[in-house]
Amino acid sequence: MEGHQRNLYLYERFNARVLGVSRDDVTTLRYWAKGLDLTFPLLSNVTSFLGVYFQIQPDGKPIFGRRTVIIDKTGVIRYVRDGSPEYKDILLFLKKLNQEGGKS
């Protein structure tokens, strides 16, 4: 997440916005964001429907798996990677998407 915060100025340049989604409650996320000085929105999804939708909700576990998803301006999922975010890969993809004229 700190990597996303460092890259915010580049996301802005590529017409992209970043959101984090977690099953933690709002208060926990607020403390977490404060600790890491994050300024982008974090969504609290305690009931986990987003995790089910994005297929990152392991059965019987109270947390989401880690997945990076890039959605273009038409709502089409264009990029999906599991595990820790590959920041350089994400930036190159957003640059390409922006050059195509797609607003993510």
Partner 1 sequence: MKKKILTILCAAWVVAWLSGCATTQTAPKPYRISPQGTVIWEDELEFAPPPLGWKLLLPEEGGDISIGFMRMEPGAFPSSSSFAYDEEPFGCSTDFEGREKEFFKRFLFNAILEFKMLEKKKVQVVGGEGLQVDVEGKDPIKGEKVRARVIFGKRGERIIGFYMTQWRPIDGTYDMSAFDDFDKFVKSFKFLKKSFYETL
> At 50, is the secondary structure helix, strand, or coil?
helix
Query: Token digits for 86?
Result: 């590959």
- Smallest distance, partner 1 to C-beta of residue 11, A: 11
Query: Token digits for 13?
Result: 């340049």
Beta strands in 1-104 (DSSP E): 20-22, 42-44, 67-71, 77-82
95 near partner 1, judged by CB under 8 A: yes
* Residue with Cβ nearer partner 1 (23 or 29): 29
The single-letter code of the amino acid at 3 is G
Site string for partner 1, 12-31 (x = CB under 8 A): -x------------------
Question: What are the residues binding partner 1 (CB under 8 A)?
Answer: 2-3, 5-6, 8-10, 13, 35, 37, 88, 91-92, 95
